[in-house]
Chain A
Amino acid sequence: MGSDAVLSAVVKEHGMPKAQCPRPNVGRRVALVMIVCALFAVTPPAFAQVDLTGTWQRVGQNDNGNAREPVDLLGMPLSADGRAKALSYDIAALSATERQCQMYPPFYALVGPFPLQFVMVPDPVTQKLLAWKILGWGDRDETMIWMDGRPHPSKYAPHPHGGFTTGTWEGDTLTAVTTHAKLGDIKRHRGFSSDRATLIYRFNRHGDILTVTGILEDPVYLAEPYVLTENFRLTTNPNNFPLTACEPIEELPSLHENPALVPHYLPGKHPAMNEVTQRYNIPLEAVLGGPETMYPEYRKKIKDNYVMPPPCKESCGGPPPAAPPPAPTGRGAGPAPRP
């Protein structure tokens, strides 16, 4: 079916603009055309679609990417292997020469700090939608969401940083499935997904709000799906951090002097293991995550062990500090402050 046929189908299905209809005439053929035009002219326009193009600023009113303590696995459905992997991780590993240009996996779109930049990729011949592209950030590769029905490649195919993603529309919701991503951390250095993970995104647009639900499944590091949501708001004033070429440099002299050194922690030796417990009185068993920690009944299990800590004194959030009163002006005012 060529593009003309597609156009014909569109007209049949959705009608034709009134302006294209000829004026009344007495000719028989023209009358026939008029009948068709009249019928289409009163058909409600149905060309609307959900357009995702643009820059969507992260709202970020949750702790998806804001956890402060290095060991904060609260509510993460990690398997035993996933927990062991998380607790062995030393963020200094990112300074190793061979890891400095390692990117985050696609799930980072939900937990990273930057906006989502959606671009529509048309088929070069038909100009129909071929894919949606989420542009990359400085440390997350772009995600191409193929909409043309192509299959996912063999499990032995290369695993690029951005993975391989296909999408389908279900009503006004775009569902995308990503496979073939590399191993990477999924909550700002607190837990990992493997190269066998599958990520399902659901993109729901409601006005200028885009809600993304991410369902991550991983037979290696997760015992149950890890599901997060994030809201984004369409913006005309984006604060982007584009993906550019990465060049390794010497970050930690110790790693440079001894290239065989791999920063890590041995089992049970993570120095920040007890930070959340010390700061918030949350039992360590909860801090270490696991599927049971994300269900409401887990509250019963910790109720008797939890004592509310003293009031927050630092890094508590809240309103911004009040602006200083305006400096007095006029003859009685003192000298202007020096820059």
Chain B
Amino acid sequence: MAMLTMREAISQALWEEMERDRRVFIMGEEVGVWGGTYAVTKGFYDHFGAERVRDTPIAEGVIVGAANGAALAGLRPVAELMTINFAFLAMDQIVNHSAKLGPMFGGQMSVPIVIRAVSGGGRQLGATHSQTPDVVFAHFPGLNVIAPGTPADAKGLLKAAIRSGEPTMFIEHATLYQARGEVPEGDYTEPIGVSKIQRPGGDVTIISYSKMLQVSLQAADKLAKEGIEAEVVDLRTLRPLDMGPILESFRKTNRAVIAEEGWLSYGIGAEVSARLYEQAFDHVDAPIRRVGQKEVALPYNRRLEQMAMPQEADVIAAVKAVL
């Protein structure tokens, strides 16, 4: 095991897949000469060349659209969107094309595209650059949506996504790139559509993913000092959503908190809690609680931005409320 940052883990996954498969290539804004705005593709341009590390115009519709086309024609494009907020400019390509061309033509086409997008708030970038709209993409059948919370999962899941041959949104959190974690040596993949218990505990189930997974794990450590053992389940994949470990944990603890960074309305917590009520109603010992962003446009001012975003203290308070 090596200690890597999230950035290093994602970078390694891309590098190794490009070495493994000639069909894999990267396209997006500033991925080449610049080295990626989050430095994920630093050094790629010099090693793989301009042909396979393609700087594009600032035009998200054609970035995802041309990547869809290249995927149709047999390549394995990894299209990078500088932030997920720009994905709205490519929404038609993602929703109406990446996710639909396979089934709509009776299975004769496939779209093996991976769209990497950087999500999340907390960097004082103002309302249009700070959203966490991950759940929006998980609404559509036909699109896998992956959002890892640890470096090991990021590497293994990105490799799996590239090899899957299926259209995938791979969502990275802007403030997780420096997060460190143990990453297995050598080539490995993690299964898509399988959630995972990241911390065992018997008193309460916290369900989370991406940045809020890290926040939830910190909250769990603090709760442990008060004698409360939280089990933390990491969704890892928003679609397909794997309820297995969640149900198993909930049937043991009978209490659940769902923590996400996005707005609560129609969100991850809404979906997971609905399924818990549907599938494990007899185990509900307390109303399931949700933690998420306040329903406002994120302000620039640091104090107000943090007030609007879900915090460790919110997770702790929610856990105490369900106990």
**A and B from one assembly?**
no
What is the interface of chain A, defined by CB distance below 8 A to chain B? none
What is the interface of chain B, defined by CB distance below 8 A to chain A? none
